[in-house]
Amino acid sequence: MYEAEEAQWWYAGQREIASALLGPALGAEAPRPRRLLDAGCGTGFNLLALGRLGRATGIDLAPEAIAFCRERGVRAVRASLLALPFPDAAFDAVTSFDVVYHAWVTDDRAAVAEMARVVRPGGLLLVRVPALQVLWGAHDTEVQSRHRYTRAELRALLEGCSLRVERATYCNSFLFPLLLVRRALDRLLGREGSDVSFLPPPLEWAFARALIAEAALVRAGISFPIGASVVALARRP
């Protein structure tokens, strides 16, 4: 992850989509520096991106992740998504990128409720998770997935914690047919291991451009009906 997160097509493209949702919702100006939390920050590159929007802090349960964050020079502490070490209403926005699905998160509703607790009234929560059980494969096993969500499931999860969902869309949609075939072949051939790796440069370029094109459409207000991930933006009333 540390080696891939900065430039690999999936990470770079998903950051563009997240920015297309979060940036306009936050607005251009703020009366004070915004306080942002990345809940489950991994090796920390997203904190650099969030740092352009305000003062970004991360948490992660893995000590290796915190060590990599220190190497990147970003602010992160070791903590569980189920017990955030922050007071109520401490942040203007909380993000959670591909964390709630993980086997370590034994109660996804409790995790969302805990993130909602630390968002100020009127603040935002942006959550992305893997989508659709039909795409379950070796990568899910390797990264300790617990579940792949539908858009309706993610919306219900957020609304069940008294959050108002403003946008919910599938993403990584243009490449969905290729991913569906890839996962079917993985199961047929018994492939093992993670998908986190670099492709040949022409494919890296093409796949990144597919996600960047999706981000432009998401920013324009378009939501996708199917995809390999699902992302939702919610506001605390």
Q: For residue 98, tell me if it sits in a domain.
A: yes
Q: For residue 2, tell me if it sits in a domain.
A: no
pLDDT band at 190 (very low <50, low <70, confident <90, very high): confident
Question: Would you say 161 and 109 are in contact if contact means Cβ atoms under 8 Å apart?
Answer: yes
Percent of the chain with pLDDT over 70: 98
Residues shown for the chain: 237
Q: For residue 123, tell me if it sits in a domain.
A: yes
Candidates 132, 142, 135; CA nearest to 183 is: 135
Q: Is the pLDDT of residue 31 over 70?
A: no
Question: Would you say 126 and 26 are in contact if contact means Cβ atoms under 8 Å apart?
Answer: no
| Strand ranges (E), the chain | 35-39, 55-60, 76-78, 91-97, 119-130, 164-171, 229-235
Q: For residue 169, tell me if it sits in a domain.
A: yes
Question: Would you say 141 and 237 are in contact if contact means Cβ atoms under 8 Å apart?
Answer: no
Candidates 169, 234, 197, 211; CA nearest to 25 is: 234
- The residue that leads in pLDDT, 226 or 191, is 226
Q: For residue 82, tell me if it sits in a domain.
A: yes
Q: Is the pLDDT of residue 108 over 70?
A: yes
Give the side-chain half-sphere CA count within 13 A for 236. Answer: 22
| CATH number of the domain to which 26 belongs | 3.40.50.150
Mean pLDDT of the region 190-196 = 76
The rounded distance, in Å, linking the Cα atoms of 43 and 1 is: 7
Query: In total, how many domains does the chain have?
Result: 1
pLDDT band at 141 (very low <50, low <70, confident <90, very high): confident
Question: Would you say 93 and 120 are in contact if contact means Cβ atoms under 8 Å apart?
Answer: no
Q: For residue 71, tell me if it sits in a domain.
A: yes
Six-digit token string for 44: 């920390």
Six-digit token string for 197: 């790796």
Six-digit token string for 11: 């990470």
Most confident range, picked from 134-138, 186-190, 207-211: 207-211
- Enclosing domain of residue 146: 9-235
The rounded distance, in Å, linking the Cα atoms of 138 and 118 is: 34
Least confident of 23-27, 29-33, 43-47: 29-33
Q: What is the pLDDT of residue 128?
A: 98
Q: Is the pLDDT of residue 202 over 90?
A: yes
pLDDT band at 37 (very low <50, low <70, confident <90, very high): very high
Q: What is the pLDDT of residue 143?
A: 83
Place of tokens 């009333």: 237
Q: Is the pLDDT of residue 147 over 90?
A: yes
Helices 108-117/151-159 angle, 10° precision: 50
On whether the pTM is more than 0.75, the answer is yes
Question: Would you say 168 and 154 are in contact if contact means Cβ atoms under 8 Å apart?
Answer: yes
Task: Calculate the alpha carbon distances from 204 to 13, 102, 148, 207, 220 in Å.
Answer: 10, 26, 24, 5, 25
Q: What is the pLDDT of residue 186?
A: 81
Strand, coil or helix: 98? coil
Q: What is the pLDDT of residue 29?
A: 66
Q: For residue 53, tell me if it sits in a domain.
A: yes
